[in-house]
Amino acid sequence: MPAKETNMIKNEGKVKGWIIAISVIVPVVVAILIFMPSKLDLGVEWVYFLPHLNAVINSAATVALIAGLIFIKSGNIPYHRASMTVAFGLGAIFLVSYIIYHSSAESTSFGGEGTIRSVYYFFLLTHIVFAAVALLPILFAYYYGYTDQREKHRKVVKFAYPIWLYVTVTGVIVYLMISPYYVH
């Protein structure tokens, strides 16, 4: 095991503390930015492109997650690590883009009626709940994978992977359902 990974394991208590702190702080900051009374004025219109970009990022993350699963099932650990690192990186880019958009633009209301409205809100609410809790197991799974703690990694991934995959897929579904109602 490389020295960097060995040092991380020695400091595992600190790393776990950071993972827990980040997993609490990020959803709180996102909620504050979404529900703040007045949005930030960035003085630019480009933020209205971000939901479209976010859907592309979520789609790419879904592909990376599925590729990661295929690679690990076939025993190709280097490609699995690469795929999961791509998914992790895309998730980070998505989060920054999502925060920028929701801190500067009003939320779009869904305009559908009838059954489709219920379907939309089911996907939206389950997406939000799972997205809020996904970060903790994802960070632990990534950390255990990065430090080659395979048994711990496998245990966390049983929860992290399906939640993460659900969040990326439903993010795209929610986008496709609400996109006709975007003003910009």
Tokens of 81: 């690590």
Kindly give the confidence (pLDDT) of every residue in the chain, 184 residues in length, as a single tens digit, with 9 standing for 90 and above. 565 556 656 788 899 999 999 999 999 988 887 777 777 777 777 888 899 999 999 999 999 999 999 999 999 999 999 999 999 999 999 999 988 888 888 778 888 899 999 999 999 999 999 999 999 999 999 999 999 999 999 999 999 999 999 999 999 999 999 988 877 6
Domains detected in the chain? 3-181 (1.20.120)
Q: How far apart are CA 127 and CA 178, in angstroms?
A: 14
Cα–Cα distance for residue pair 112/85, rounded to 1 Å: 37
Contact 18, 8 (CB under 8 A): no
Asked if residues 19 and 143 have their Cβ atoms less than 8 Å apart, the reply is yes
Beta-carbon-side half-sphere exposure of residue 170 (alpha carbons within 13 Å): 19
pLDDT (0 to 100) of residue 4: 58
Please give the model's pTM, rounded to 2 decimal places. 0.86
**Which CA distances in Å does 15 have to 10, 25, 66, 140?**
9, 15, 27, 9
